[in-house]
Amino acid sequence: MNAKHLIEGLVSSVGKLPTHVDVIGLQRFSLEDLQRRTKRFLSLVGEKERRSLDRGDWIEQNDHTVVHLTQGARAIFYHASGAMKYVSGLAPMEMLFEHVESRELLTKLVKG
């Protein structure tokens, strides 16, 4: 099925659309609330990753704030939506084990 047929099928499956809809206002968090939520989030992530994420450079922009953290990690929170994004800064497969395992065990795990 090509994209055109898919779109036509989806459009035809929609029933009668309402003539109007209610708009619900959502709470907009203050910048201080967003910072507090971000610090809490970073605290939880830091516990999981077993590294400290409590210090960083907070750079506030018009619509978002970027927090540059240790080891290349960063967090971004968006002022309007309150959405957060976290980038660990770890390379893929960099933190597979909590501590260095023996060569024999690693070989056994790879061979299955």
Residue 84's pLDDT is: 94
Are 64 and 75 in contact by the 8 Å Cβ rule? The answer is: no
Q: Where are the domains of the chain?
A: 25-112
Q: Give dist(CA 1, CA 4) in Å, integer.
A: 8
pLDDT band at 95 (very low <50, low <70, confident <90, very high): low
Please give the pLDDT value at position 42.
92
Q: What are the tens digits of pLDDT across the range 44-61?
A: 988 887 788 888 999 999
pLDDT at 1: 65
pLDDT digits (tens, 9 = 90+) for 20-38: 888 887 778 899 999 999 9
Residues 103, 35: Cα–Cα separation, whole Å: 44
DSSP state of 74: E
- What is the spatial distance between Cα 75 and Cα 68, in angstroms, rounded to a whole number? 7
Q: Give the SS3 label for residue 31.
A: helix
Q: Where are the alpha helices (DSSP H) in 14-102?
A: 31-49
Please choose, from the candidates 66, 78, 83, 73, the residue with its C-alpha nearest in 3D space to the C-alpha of residue 49: 73
Beta bridge partners of 78: 64
Contact 36, 84 (CB under 8 A): no
| Torsion angles phi and psi, residue 84, rounded to 5 | -125, 150
